[in-house]
Amino acid sequence: MNRFILLLNVFLFATVAASAQYTLSGKIEYEKKTNVHAVFKDNRDDENDSWYQDMLAKAPKFKSTFFELTFDTARSIYKPGKEVEIAYKGWMGDGPANDNIVLSDFATGKVKAVKNVFEQKFQVQDTLRNMYWLEKGEIRIINNFKCHKAVGKICDSVYVVAFYTEDIPTPGGPEMFGGLPGMILELAIPRLHTTWVADKIELITPKDADFVIPEKGKKVTEKQLFETIQSSLKDWGKWAGRYIWWSVL
């Protein structure tokens, strides 16, 4: 009897596994949300507290922008999405990563990214970022997808929290983040007070023309971009670190 139950369970598991539905291509809309007031607090100058108070009074607490990621099993492209009306036109403190375009080729292990940093355009050409992710065992449902938590680091000390789903097996995500056993649907960088959350997922079949990235900009590797920006901001004090982190996303 026990053997019969065991065989029945094996059969049921195999049936469920065989019928599992995976999303192999589509388009994801991410809302990128920054806590602007927290950014101001990080950059606060105790000798000029009036500046800080003035910014808090004028700027909204949060700023949202949208990006879209089109993908299939072999590649993805991340770029700015729909525009939103922003009444406040002053400095929002969310760094230069507002119009990044990132093309990830999982078949070849290569990445191209176009980034504007302080009015200079760079084209990053490198291998896909090889991050060490530590699984945390936490589960979260995002847009009806079961997601697993993982934690990694950039720039040696900046923690990144990701929730990815194995139901979308493409190993990509926002910006240049990926390398997990599925698509990242939520990303958080606490020290930048910023999150990326998938608020819409469309099932589409992309065309080759969807995976085209501009070829303009100074060609650099990811390491060369980091070193260039680090050298340019050496006199910026505590502001420098955060701008470097934004630039290498």
Q: What is the pLDDT of residues 193-233, one digit of tens each?
A: 999 999 999 999 999 999 999 988 999 999 998 888 888 77
Residue 2 carries which side chain, given as an amino acid letter? N
Q: Is 45 among the domain residues?
A: yes
The verdict on residue 4 lying in a domain is no
pLDDT tens-place string over residues 101-127: 999 999 999 999 999 887 789 999 999
Domain membership flag for residue 14: no
Rounded Cα distance between 14 and 49, Å, is 64
Question: What are 107's two structure tokens?
Answer: 């078949």
> For residue 134, what is the domain's CATH number?
2.50.20
Is 132 inside any structural domain?
yes
Task: Measure the CA–CA gap between 171 and 178, rounded to whole angstroms.
Answer: 5
The radius of gyration of the chain from alpha carbons, rounded to an integer in Å, stands at: 21
Angstrom distance (rounded) from CA 239 to CA 93: 10
- Both tokens assigned to 74: 């072999």
- Whether residue 15 is contained in a domain is answered as no
User: In which element (H, E) is residue 137 found?
Assistant: strand 134-142
**Within-domain flag for 1:** no
Number of folded domains in the chain?
1
Which strands, in side-by-side order, build the sheet including 183-189? 134-142, 145-154, 158-165, 183-189, 194-202, 26-35, 62-71, 75-80, 101-105, 110-117, 120-127, 218-220
Sign of the four-CA dihedral 159, 238, 64, 209: negative
* Enclosing domain of residue 53: 22-247
Please report whether residue 16 resides in a domain.
Answer: no
**Residue 92, pLDDT score:** 62
pTM of the model: 0.87
User: For 79-85, which contacts have Cβ atoms below 8 Å and span 24 or more sequence positions?
Assistant: 81/29, 81/30, 82/29
Is residue 12, in this structure, part of any structural domain at all? no
